[in-house]
Structure 1
Amino acid sequence: MSDSLKKRSQCSLTTDQTSTVTKEETSGPVKGQKTDKMSKKKRKLYTWDEIPHWQRDNEHILSGYVGETRSMFQCFLSLFYLHNESVNIYTHLLPGIAFLFVLCFDKFAVTQFETTTLIDYVMIDLFSLVSFTCLTLSSIFHCLKNHSRSVATFGNKLDYLGIVVLVVTSMVSIMYYGFFETPALFYLFSFITCTFGAACAVVSLKEGFRTREWRPYRAAMFVAFGLSAVLPIVTGIFYYGFSEIYLRIQVKWVLLGGIFYITGAVLYGVRFPEKYAPGKYDIWGHSHQLFHVLVVVAALCHLYGLIKSYNLVHLKMAIAQL
């Protein structure tokens, strides 16, 4: 028997043992004794072998599942105990709220210049809004995915769509400042970015591409999407020179964010590390959690680079007016 099957069997056995309820051995109730109606307390967590087939997505996660609830209230209650989706929920919920604060208090986050216009706030606030929306949708999906198959399917589509829109917004917003003086290049690369985003949206939303067998291909599409950011950088090098485009697009932060996005997608696609130690990373540290953390780090890298690009453009405009 393989290590994976042994761990799964042990996990199922442990769960069965803990779910056994001791019965009263007396033939009738003892005088003065109250019947304990809560003795058969409903279990909260289940193993891979006990959950419905529609809930089975990662065969290397053996335990810690919230069973099918068909109750929004029960899904809400799952926020207050630990299970294998808890980290997925909070690693996007809390950063999402942080991005909302950036959006609401943009006057403090964005340096004011005489040349600052509404479009500047649109670019920065749009990214903050999309980041908040993406991360919040993701946390809601991971909270409600145990409700039913239909809710899980719909929520998963929104989860992927949010990631696509976040990446598109990230690239378009910073290219606006990178090609501030050459609008034609900005429109060209924005079109290319939106095209890749649409392709990723199709493979994420269309049922034929949403099977477990297509997961590596979906991940590959997202990797290609991330790599498409190299194209405007290379073009900018030829057009402006390396030193200039490095500052205009904040290449360091864009590439760093892209590396985090791509690394997260690859880890999720290959199911690392739980694939090599089934059952060990059920609650903490499995690939989807790592993906979530890396997406947040990538978004923060981009926000920092975006604000630096904004500052650079307006500083140059201020110097030119002297």
Structure 2
Amino acid sequence: MDYFTGPKLLDFKNSPPHLQFNKFVLTGYRPISTYRDCLRSLFYLHNEFGNIYTHGSVFYHLFMNHEGGAPIYDTLLSFDMFGVCLVNTLGALPIIHITLLCYPSSRRVAMLAYLLLSGYGVHRAVTAQSNVHRLQSFVWQAMFRFILFMLRLTGAGRGSPTSLRLYLTMDILALLGGLVNISRLPERFSPGRFDYWFNSHQIMHIMVILSIMYLHWGTLEDLTWLKGYHCPDE
């Protein structure tokens, strides 16, 4: 077997049990493989190919069919969810800092509260037993950010006027991506048609990438605004 041909792919019912998490993806499953064979799957088409190349952290999708079986899969999934939570946590810290720029005591309390909520979210995410429960793990962080956005909208919080729109777009994209993923759209309506391309998980990846881009743009707007701003009592 060379790098570009790959092994014979499996259908859903013959795939490893721990990989049978989307019954609407019917074909294209990689067989149980060594780590070298998992790496080879970077170079031939299968139903995780698109997920690998649209994911910021490729290890989960690349090695999910490793011969270590379900224990390896569960470990990879936990690390993957930890990475998602880390992005959520670190990405929000500049938002908290700038929104509460003129309220140092409240800013410190908010930072601590968000970090504690994020720690709880990590625990929920890595121990969740379904995609729905994983999505729910991020609810408290999202609600916390929404409160910050409301402070900005009412004028009580600080920050660039432009960044608020970017941050709202960020969270909307992330939410829609999560809902698409747990709804299994569009493959739910045409099982087998989206096995390789444009299935719900790939769409979620793309929407999350866009969400992170909006976070980046919003942060840049805030940092530019910060250079010329001073709190009233300074």
TM range (shorter): 0.7 to 0.9
**SS of equivalent to 1:80:** coil
TM-score by length of 2: 0.87
State the AA in 2 paired with 1:185: S
> Structure 2 counterpart of 1:194, which letter?
L
Partner of 1:271: 184
* Deviation per residue, 1:229-255 (Å, 9 max, x gap): 1111223445x35xx746268211111
Q: Root-mean-square deviation (CA), in Å?
A: 2.4
Which residue identity does 2:27 align to in structure 1?
S
Residue 52 of structure 1: aligned partner:
16
| 1:179 and 2:92 correspond | no
| Distance (whole Å) between structure 2 residues aligned to residue 81 and residue 53 of structure 1 | 22
Rate the CA distance shift 1:176–1:246 in 2: closer, same or farther, 3 A.
Answer: closer
Structure 2 unaligned segments of length 5 or more: list them. Answer: none
Partner in structure 2 of residue 140 of structure 1 = 59
1:165-314 residue pairs with structure 2 within 5 A?
165-206=86-127, 209-210=128-129, 214-238=130-154, 240-241=155-156, 245=158, 247=160, 250-314=163-227
Q: How does 1:110-121 map to 2 (within 5 A)?
A: none
4+ runs deviating over 6 angstroms: none
- AA aligned to 2:59 is I
Measure how far apart 1:151 and its partner are: 1.8
Report if aligned partners of 2:29, 2:46 keep a CA contact under 8 Å in 1: yes
C-alpha separation between the residues in 2 aligned to 1:233 and 1:188?
Answer: 17
* Residue number in structure 1 paired with 2:35: 72
Aligned residues between the structures: 227
Q: Is the 8 A contact 1:267 1:291 kept in 2?
A: yes
Higher helix share: 1
Structure 1, unaligned runs of 5 or more: 1-37, 93-134
1:260 is paired with a residue of what secondary structure?
helix
Q: Distance in 2 between matches of 1:315 and 1:44?
A: 61
Identity, % of aligned pairs? 21
SS of aligned partner of 2:220: helix
User: What is aligned with 2:47?
Assistant: 84
Inter-CA distance 188–235: structure 2 relative to 1 (3 Å threshold): farther
Q: What is the aligned partner in structure 2 of residue 14 from structure 1? A: none
